[in-house]
């Protein structure tokens, strides 16, 4: 009987940890999406490159902190694809290329939505 109780406690710990991370991840992804949509794309479209570069630098640093935890829960391939997009955006902003920068920012938004949606616990992802 003790083994059964320990097993249930371990399962509860795993589910609890995942639930806490899922909530954290959901808030973080939504903050990234809002930042891209309400700051970065607007800065790029307005041609405010210095401001876009500083906002993107903060975004990039925050992403790398988030990524260090997310790699335990998300697919490494999807995280790497997001890193590639972030690297491209960084240099598009430095090159002051508004078309490619805004396009890649839009692509990054979709990648972030897919990253979180693909790892959520729902019937589609379980089966």
- Which CATH fold topology does 25-126 show? 1.20.120
Position 91 scores a pLDDT of 94
Report percent pLDDT > 70 for the chain. 93
Mean predicted lDDT score pLDDT of the chain:
88
Write out pLDDT tens, residues 93-119: 999 998 999 999 999 999 998 887 776
- Torsion sign over Cα 44, 45, 50, 51: negative
Domain map of the chain by residue range? 25-126
Cβ–Cβ under 8 Å, residues 89 and 104: yes
Length of the chain: 127
pTM: 0.83
- Tokens describing residue 99: 């078309």
- With a cut of 50, list the residues of the chain below it in pLDDT: none
């Amino acid at each position: 009987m003790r083994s059964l109780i320990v097993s249930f406690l371990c399962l509860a710990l795993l589910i609890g940890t995942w639930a806490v991370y899922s909530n954290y991840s959901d808030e973080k992804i939504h903050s990234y999406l809002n930042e891209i949509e309400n700051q970065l794309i607007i800065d790029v479209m307005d041609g405010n490159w210095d401001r876009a570069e500083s906002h993107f630098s903060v975004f990039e640093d925050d992403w790398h902190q988030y990524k260090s935890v997310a790699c335990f829960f998300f697919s490494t391939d999807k995280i790497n694809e997001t890193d590639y997009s972030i690297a491209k955006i960084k240099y598009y902003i430095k090159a002051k290329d508004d078309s490619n920068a805004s396009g890649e920012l839009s692509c990054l938004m979709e990648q972030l939505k897919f990253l979180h949606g693909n790892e959520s616990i729902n019937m589609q992802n379980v089966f």
